[in-house]
Amino acid sequence: MASKNNNPDNAAATASLLEDFVDFLNEAWTAYHATAEARRRLLAAGFEELDESQATHDVKPVSKASKAGFLQLATQPYGGGLWHTWFDRDLGVAGRAIVKRGEGKYSHDLVKINRPVLRIPTLAIHLTKADERKSFSPNLQSNFFPVLATEVKAKLTAGGASSKAAAGEGESPGKEGGGDERHHALLVEMVAEELGCQPEDVKDFELQFWDTQPSCLGGACSEFVFSGRLDNFCSSWQSIRALIDGCEGDGLASCKGVRSVFLFDHEEVGSTSCHGAAGTLLPDCMKRIAKGLAASPSDFVMEAVVRKSFLVSADMAHALHPNYQDRHDPALGPKIHSGMVLKHNANQRYATNAVTAFFFRELGARAGLPTQEFAVKSDSACGSTIGPTLSALSGIRTVDVGSPQLSMHSIREMMGADDAVFGYRHIKGVFVGCFSCFFFASGAREEGCCLGRL
């Protein structure tokens, strides 16, 4: 594997990191599962879980559909996906469910069906029209119903359920002891089997489809990572692993500040939710931390914390595509195996400025890590991240960065294996090194602190 890291002892460490990264991806099927995996890793590393209540493609809500003798599921798209890549893929189901666990007791449990139970078949070329062959643009309302089973086979292989239930005519999540006909009973039974409960105890769920093909290393030199969900579970893994490893040994002995990682949901759809970046999670957490660490109550503690903080908004970047090189500025096309990408935009689509770009670049250089620059072509529209939102909400200096990848928003994405490790080491370098750096503003020296964010 080609690598720009000159540490002679890195080969074994890099292989171990990549194995850990792929393992993380194979657990992080949904945002819920990624959160659970991050929690598991933090607890295993000795972190303490706090009770936040103490002081100091989703499946549609009504998914049941049947056409031409097939049991199908109604879906709704999430964000801007490359939806044509979801056809002819072996799909599983994962998400969370509300389960009755006794009289008046309910739990919210994660569920994952780790086998191909759904498929969206492509129309054969012999049946397509000329314009469809020229440009495959499926209608998400009429062409995007994955097949669950045939009605006939569901009746013949009902197992413990009645033929009527297997065909989708029985109970589904909702009323006690009776269905509201929202979902095929066959789907509910699969969910119940995974959760170890009775179908009637599954009261509701939020499910997403995912590609059952495992994440893996690929390419002739095993230099790539092939996986779904690289955007943005790669950044999630990089930051969680960096936070944990940065605390090993005497990693916190001389630390003068607080290191944090925030994993926000709903970035692809505007971030306007209680657990999205436009919510109050970041400022609320900062206020509680600042108040807890303050020597005495002060109305200005938060203001001081903000001025001494540094925020890294990490989201994947578009690598230069060998077959579509004209889509990038000739001088600003991020390359695979070339390190973290600093994102720039004069219209504030990214929060990077000269100070934050230098600071991030300098911390990488101290660790012997490469960085590269990106700005969209001047005649093209520019995407955005949650960096500007968080910077505006908090007032914290922010830099927008990310690892380069190809096939973003495809069911199967691709990135350089080296870049996954570069990103981890760079974020770790921010956690470890930012407290020894200094900002100079208006002639006054101001000690820099770090608040890591995903």
3-state secondary structure of 399: strand
**259 domain-assigned:** yes
- Looking at residue 316, its pLDDT comes to 97
320 and 189 share one domain: no
- Looking at residue 287, its pLDDT comes to 87
23 and 69 share one domain: no
129 and 176 share one domain: yes
393 and 246 share one domain: yes
Cα pseudo-dihedral 215, 220, 222, 228, rounded to 10: -20
381 and 278 share one domain: yes
**4 domain-assigned:** no
Q: DSSP for 290-302?
A: HHHH-SS--TTHH
233 and 117 share one domain: no
**75 domain-assigned:** yes
Report how far residue 134's alpha carbon sits from residue 129's, in angstroms, rounded to the nearest whole number. Answer: 9
- Looking at residue 52, its pLDDT comes to 64
Specify the CATH number for the domain of residue 95.
2.30.250.10
112 and 245 share one domain: no
Q: Quote the tokens at residue 93.
A: 């189901």
Report the domain count for the chain: 2
- N residues, the chain: 454
- Looking at residue 45, its pLDDT comes to 94
Range of the domain at 96: 58-211
Cα pseudo-dihedral 71, 75, 80, 86, rounded to 10: -10
**67 domain-assigned:** yes
**449 domain-assigned:** yes
250 and 190 share one domain: no
The answer to whether 416 and 224 are in contact (CB under 8 A) is yes
Specify the CATH number for the domain of residue 448.
3.40.630.10
**3 domain-assigned:** no
Instruction: Give the residue ranges of DSSP H helices in 246-319.
Output: 281-293, 301-307
Of 148, 178, 211, the last residue of a domain is 211
**34 domain-assigned:** no
**48 domain-assigned:** no
Of 211, 239, 270, the last residue of a domain is 211
pTM beyond 0.85: the answer is: yes
Distances (CA, A) of 392 to 290, 351, 369, 388: 19, 9, 29, 6
Q: What does pLDDT average to in each consecutive run of 10 residues of the chain (454 residues)?
A: 53 95 95 95 92 63 89 91 94 96 94 96 92 86 94 75 44 44 91 96 94 97 97 96 90 81 87 83 88 72 86 97 96 97 96 96 95 94 91 94 98 98 97 70 44 39
The answer to whether 141 and 77 are in contact (CB under 8 A) is no
